[in-house]
């Protein structure tokens, strides 16, 4: 299974904005029940895109700078980022099939 990369305000630029491959960033919080459901979907699809995209996670409770910069108002939020620019966003829970469609639509990446 693909590794999920935990990012923080201080590692965000290097891990996400400067990534050589597109990124799906999962913004979550420990207290958020829908975030836990989404995490299961993210984990299920992660292996399909190994080497094609980077899947990152950020705990919003500990990283207020990035949350404010991207105006994240609701959780969970997924940001789809290519070449340092947000090209798509999803708010709320999602099934693995929904995530697959969003990755392929926003990032133009097909699964293996």
Residue 35 catalytic? yes
Q: Which of 7, 23, 25, 32 is catalytic?
A: 32
Q: Which of 7, 35, 72, 109 is catalytic?
A: 35
DSSP result, 66-98: HHHHTT--SSSEEEEEETTEEEEEEES---HHH
Q: How far apart are CA 34 and CA 85, in angstroms?
A: 26
Q: How far apart are CA 45 and CA 107, in angstroms?
A: 15
Which amino acids are annotated catalytic?
32, 35
């Amino acid at each position: 299974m693909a590794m999920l990369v935990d990012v923080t305000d201080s590692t965000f630029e290097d891990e996400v904005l400067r990534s050589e491959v597109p990124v799906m960033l999962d913004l979550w919080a420990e207290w958020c029940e829908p975030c836990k459901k989404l995490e299961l979907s993210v984990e299920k699809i992660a292996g399909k895109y190994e080497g094609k995209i980077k899947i990152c996670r950020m705990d919003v409770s500990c990283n207020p700078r990035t949350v404010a910069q991207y105006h994240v108002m609701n959780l969970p939020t997924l940001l789809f980022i290519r070449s340092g620019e947000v090209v798509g966003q999803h708010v709320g829970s999602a099934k693995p099939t929904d995530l697959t469609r969003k990755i392929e639509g926003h990032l133009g990446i097909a699964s293996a």
